[in-house]
Amino acid sequence: MAEVVITSKEEAARLTADLFERLVREKPNAVFGVATGSTPEGVYRELAARRAQHLLADFSRVRAFALDEYVGLPVEHPESYHSVIERQWTRPLGLHPEQVAVPPAVITADDNPESYETRIDAAGGIDIQLVGIGSNGHIGFNEPGSSLASRTRLKTLSRQTRIDNARFFGTLDEVPRYCVTQGLGTILEARRIVLLAFGVSKARALANALEGPVTSSVPASVVQFHPHVTALVDDAAASLLANQDYYREAWQERPPSRRILFDGITLTAPPRRRGF
């Protein structure tokens, strides 16, 4: 069962930034899995603001791997995830582009998208994977029906995802049809998963993912197999959670050693084994 923290979007961003900083203090060359889209923007802004005020831990040695990328969009396009990650993560944190990897935006018949995972493995695996959730229950771009054991691969975006993401583009037609995404099996190998969800449009998917059956029809439900998942969600996203009273109480009454998110818990751990 995921730890569910129901709080404001702003506080969720602060708590996640605190957690990232704590990991970096424990492990200066920590490896982050970074998401794109609207959901994680507050976290990235918070980290950037702390750095601008010289308050941030030393992130100079961290590495990061993006979850996914559109296929068929030039990498220079402002909405390619190469561009988004560069704008929201790499540059504000003062990192060298080589410290941050994004899946390829062009795939030829000879390419094997799974080779992205060789790079993740070579970096020692992902310490904290940040994920958002799609209104259809996807994480990464693992659309409903994705194998729960899937690896990094080329996928076709669902119509729902393209409609949801049309707000970043001019029209629906401009939203790419394909992507490369880390698989659900890949995501499960991260040592910790932090899932963020804000707004009522995520309420149904979140309730299905955290409290429903584990099923490829709700790809995010696979996080129920992971031992260290924290979901930071706002009231609107939490509105359909059956156990929301319990989550609120458990957070309010958390043991003193856990007054700070993950306080008292070692963030660095051996890599998780492949699969589940």
Instruction: For residues 5 and 244, give the distance between their C-alpha atoms in angstroms, rounded to a whole number.
Output: 9
Would you give the binding string for ligand F6R spanning residues 213-252, x where CB under 6 A is met? ----------------------------------------
Least spacing, CB of residue 88 vs ligand F6R, in Å:
11
Asked whether position 160 contacts ligand F6R by CB under 6 A, the answer is no
Least spacing, CB of residue 118 vs ligand F6R, in Å:
21
Number of residues this chain uses to bind ligand F6R (CB under 6 A): 13
Least spacing, CB of residue 160 vs ligand F6R, in Å:
10
Which CB, 57 or 179, lies closer to ligand F6R?
179
| φ, ψ at 180 (rounded to 5°) | -115, 130
Least spacing, CB of residue 249 vs ligand F6R, in Å:
28
The neighbour count for residue 201, using CB atoms within 10 Å, is: 13
Strand segments (E) across the chain? 3-6, 31-34, 63-66, 68-71, 100-101, 128-131, 153-156, 178-181, 192-197, 229-233
Question: How many angstroms separate the first and last alpha carbons of the chain?
Answer: 15
Give the sign of the dihedral formed by CA 216, CA 5, CA 250, CA 239. Answer: negative
Asked whether position 103 contacts ligand F6R by CB under 6 A, the answer is no
List the interface residues with ligand F6R, window 64-93 (CB under 6 A): 67-68
The neighbour count for residue 228, using CB atoms within 10 Å, is: 18
Instruction: For residues 24 and 267, give the distance between their C-alpha atoms in angstroms, rounded to a whole number.
Output: 10
| φ, ψ at 69 (rounded to 5°) | -155, 145
Asked whether position 144 contacts ligand F6R by CB under 6 A, the answer is no
Tokens in use for 150? 């899937």
Going by C-alpha positions, the residue among 179, 149, 176, 141 that lies closest to residue 162 is 176
Asked whether position 140 contacts ligand F6R by CB under 6 A, the answer is yes
Going by C-alpha positions, the residue among 158, 175, 152 that lies closest to residue 67 is 152
Piece of the chain touching ligand F6R by CB under 6 A; list 18-26, 87-95, 135-143, 255-263? 135-143
Instruction: For residues 111 and 125, give the distance between their C-alpha atoms in angstroms, rounded to a whole number.
Output: 22
Which CB, 36 or 99, lies closer to ligand F6R?
36
Specify whether the CB–CB gap between 2 and 222 falls below 8 A: no
Least spacing, CB of residue 131 vs ligand F6R, in Å:
6
List the interface residues with ligand F6R, window 176-205 (CB under 6 A): none
Least spacing, CB of residue 182 vs ligand F6R, in Å:
8
List the interface residues with ligand F6R, window 25-54 (CB under 6 A): 35-39
Least spacing, CB of residue 2 vs ligand F6R, in Å:
16
Binding stretches for ligand F6R (CB under 6 A) = 35-39, 67-68, 132, 134, 138-141
